[in-house]
């Protein structure tokens, strides 16, 4: 089995996709003509977006995300966390936690997107030797 995608339930799919393209350099895979669903390339797994309106029409009732009480986070790895944070903030992200060196050797920072999703920007985890 392969992990295919994660779907974020957002208010405005095209706007959210544009933010992730600008803030994190992701490439658009597709956006449905309705504007209610789209996917971005992230490597082996896609980051997908669906409008909360569409989900309500399908009988689901997604709650709005909140960065200060997240139920999950998205993480992007990078060799230069401070530069990634600066790019994300310049694109409209809210800084949640400035870059910090962790005891296990990883540098970690957090931003939030306009929909309240928590996004971790971090260096890759290095195996313990």
- pLDDT tens, residue by residue, 46-94: 999 999 999 999 999 999 999 999 998 999 999 999 999 999 999 999 9
Task: Give the predicted TM-score (pTM) of the model.
Answer: 0.92
Question: The tokens of 69 are what?
Answer: 């009480």
Q: How long is the chain? A: 129
Domain with CATH 3.10.180.10 in the chain: 5-57
Higher pLDDT, 43 or 111: 111
Question: The tokens of 49 are what?
Answer: 């977006």
Query: Long-range contact list for 101-106, CB < 8 A, 24+ apart?
Result: 104/128
Q: What is the pLDDT of residue 126?
A: 79
- How far is Cα 9 from Cα 62, in angstroms, rounded to an integer? 7
For the stretch 21-46, pLDDT in tens is 999 999 999 999 999 999 999 988 99
Q: What is the pLDDT of residue 128?
A: 66
Question: The tokens of 37 are what?
Answer: 């669903």
The CATH label, of 1.20.1050.10, 3.30.720.110, 3.40.50.150, 1.20.1090.10, for the domain at 74-122 is: 3.30.720.110
Domain with CATH 3.30.720.110 in the chain: 74-122
CATH number of 5-57: 3.10.180.10
What residues contact 39, with CB distance under 8 A and at least 6 apart? 5, 28, 29, 30, 46, 47, 48, 49
Question: The tokens of 26 are what?
Answer: 């992701």
Find out whether 116 and 74 touch, Cβ atoms under 8 Å: no
Question: Which H or E run contains 109?
Answer: strand 107-112
Higher pLDDT, 95 or 63: 95
């Amino acid at each position: 089995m392969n992990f295919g995608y994660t779907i974020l339930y957002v208010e405005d799919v095209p706007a959210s996709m544009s933010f992730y393209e600008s803030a994190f350099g992701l490439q658009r895979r597709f956006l449905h003509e309705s504007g209610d669903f789209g996917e971005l390339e992230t490597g082996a797994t896609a980051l997908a977006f669906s409008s909360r309106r569409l989900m309500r029409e399908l009988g689901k009732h997604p709650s709005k995300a909140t960065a200060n009480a997240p139920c999950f986070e998205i993480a992007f790895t990078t060799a230069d966390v401070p530069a990634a944070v600066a790019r994300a903030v310049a694109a409209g992200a809210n800084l949640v936690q400035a870059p910090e060196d962790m005891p296990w050797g990883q540098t970690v920072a957090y931003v939030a997107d306009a929909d309240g999703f928590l996004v971790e920007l971090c260096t890759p985890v290095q195996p313990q030797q």
